[in-house]
Amino acid sequence: MWQNLSLRGRINLLLALLLALGLAVNIGRQVAEAGPRVQAEDQSVIRLAREFITMIVADLREAPDPDAKLGQIARDLNRLRHVSIALHDAAGNPLTPPRPDAGDDARGPPAWFVALVHPEQTAVSVPVSVNGKPGSLVVTSHPNDEIAEIWDGIVTQLEVGSVVALALFLVMMTVVGRALAPLQSLAQTMVALEGGRYEARVAPGGAPELAAICTRLNHLAATLGEAVEDKRRLAERTVSLQDVERKEIARELHDEFGPYLFSLRAHASAMAKLADGRAPNADAVRKHGSAMLEQINALQQFNRRVLERLRPVGLAELGLRQALESLSRLWRESRPEVAIETTISPALGATGEMADLTIYRIVQEALTNVFRHAGATSVNVVIEPAEQPGRDGRLCARVRVSDNGCGMAPGQQLGFGLIGMRERILALGGTLSVASDEGGVTVEALVPTAAA
């Protein structure tokens, strides 16, 4: 049952139990003290009554009619509470009627309470003279009167205490309900977030701790929404980049392969016609053959560049250093007017296949942008080990490609290539930054390695 109760129900139940326990302890204390209290009251009343009667009896001698005065005193004193005073003759027979016991009516304490208190009735006698004969005034205690008073006090306190406890419980239940009200909103917001509705928010309220939790949950929802939106944009850009890359490859195949293949077909047709002639011209055949070899060589270079874009040739077999040297050599051959300096730190060590491919793509994309847009005369490529800030010294490779070109125009957005590289590095847990000034552009990336 306890496990099925809500937090609000548990707190209210505990409050009710505490209030009931406090009331029960107080009532139990009064019940436990009832016996000694009744006994002390009886002794005190008997002593006072005896002293009072003794003093009155001493004054009877001066009365004109002592016997009548004594009877009147006995009748008057018999109306006292807690004690009864009766006039007895020498044989012990009562001369005045006994008074009814106040504790014997229907409104008196229950029998179990009377039995729990165990009252003991006490009686003392004071000698007097009745009609010239010896007699006595008998003072008898009536503990039921005190027991009835104690029981009435217990009942009154139980009633008043119950009302006060109920009022306190209702007040505390209202306060707890208002304090825990944000929990329902928190649960509903979490259900909404679980269902993908990241725009859901909860109004901060309740206790300061719950208000802080509401604020943090709203921040978490906003962060999750941004992450999902970034993921969507990443998927969209990935598809866009794939389409752009396919279009570029298709254009290059059309612009490069098509003319070369057409030229090869023309030379082959010419050579076939020469071979069908009666006297083939050796110089013409040699000329067509040399042209075909040149075009085949150009096709091989173009095919190599396309393969390099799709997958670095020799990266897995030769390693990162050899692959980057081969990439730099190809660019030097195609653009000899630009000086390319590549420095790879000997302390770099093994970085892992994924890190190697990412580093290679960063350098490849950066060099492509330099030769397409920068108009630079020198490019410096540096790859060295580093520690990633904020990641407890996580090992990574720092890749820096800088040129002395014209730089980027103010407000110019990054191209699809660098955007794709940044998102790829972010997916690996690294960072990429692009800085541009009058001295050129610097592309710097931190790529986590396999040793991290």
Amino acid type, 302: F
Residue that the structure tokens 């190599």 belong to: 304
CA 383/CA 393 separation, integer angstroms: 18
pLDDT in tens, 292-323: 888 888 888 777 777 766 666 666 667 878 88
Condensed to tens digits (0 to 9), the pLDDT of residues 157-200 reads 888 888 888 888 888 888 877 777 777 788 888 888 888 888 88
Q: What is the pLDDT of residues 328-364, one digit of tens each?
A: 888 888 778 888 888 888 888 777 788 888 888 888 8
Q: Enter the tokens of residue 377.
A: 């005369």
What pLDDT shows up at residue 96? 67
With beta carbons less than 8 A apart as the criterion, state whether 256 and 303 touch: no
Question: How far is 346 from 245, CA to CA, in rounded Å?
Answer: 34
- Residue 354 belongs to domain with CATH number: 3.30.565.10
Burial 361-387, CB ≥16 within 10 A → b, else e: bbbbbbbebbbebbebeebbbebebbe
What is the rounded CA–CA span in Å between residue 358 and residue 99? Answer: 112
- Give residue 390's pLDDT: 55
238, part of any domain: no
- Give the gyration radius of the chain's Cα atoms: 55
Compute the half-sphere exposure of residue 153: CA atoms within 13 Å on the CB side of its CA. 14
Q: Which of 21-25, 225-229, 407-411 has the lowest mean pLDDT?
A: 407-411
Would residue 302 count as lying in a domain?
A: no
Is residue 21 in some structural domain? Answer: yes
How many C-beta neighbours within 10 Å does residue 138 have?
Answer: 19
The residue written with tokens 């505990």 in the block is 14
Query: Which two structure tokens, joined as six digits, stand for 212?
Result: 């802080």
Write down which residue in 120, 146, 179 finishes a domain: 179
333 C-beta neighbours (distance < 10 Å), count: 9
Could you give the 3-state DSSP secondary structure of residue 83? strand
pLDDT over threshold 60, residue 100: no
SS3 for 226-246 is: HHHHHHHHHHHHHHHHHHHHH
Residues in the chain: 452
336 occurs within a structural domain: yes
pLDDT at 103 over 50: no
Domain for residue 314, yes or no? no
Residue 51: pLDDT over 70 = yes
Confidence band, pLDDT 50/70/90 cuts, at residue 3 = low
Name the packing angle between helices 282-310 and 320-334 (round to 10°).
130
User: End of a domain among 151, 179, 207?
Assistant: 179
d(CA 39, CA 111): 18
Domains held by the chain: number: 2
> What is the rounded distance in angstroms from the CA atom of residue 385 to the CA atom of residue 109?
93
Please give the structure tokens belonging to residue 356. Answer: 């190697």
Q: Is residue 381 part of a domain?
A: yes
Give the integer Cα–Cα distance in Å for 442 and 408.
Answer: 10
- Helix 282-310 and helix 258-276, axial crossing angle in degrees, nearest 10: 160
pLDDT digits (tens, 9 = 90+) for 241-297: 677 777 877 887 777 778 878 888 888 888 888 777 766 677 787 888 888 888 888
CA-closest candidate to residue 304, choices 326, 324, 321: 326
- Give the β-pairing of 133-141 and 83-88: antiparallel
Residue where a domain stops, chosen among 145, 179, 213? 179
| Domain-embedded: residue 184 | no
225 within some domain: no
pLDDT on residue 102: 45
For 379-409, write each residue's pLDDT tens digit: 888 888 887 765 556 778 888 888 888 777 6
Element (H, E) at 442: strand 440-448
Domain hosting 155: range is 2-179
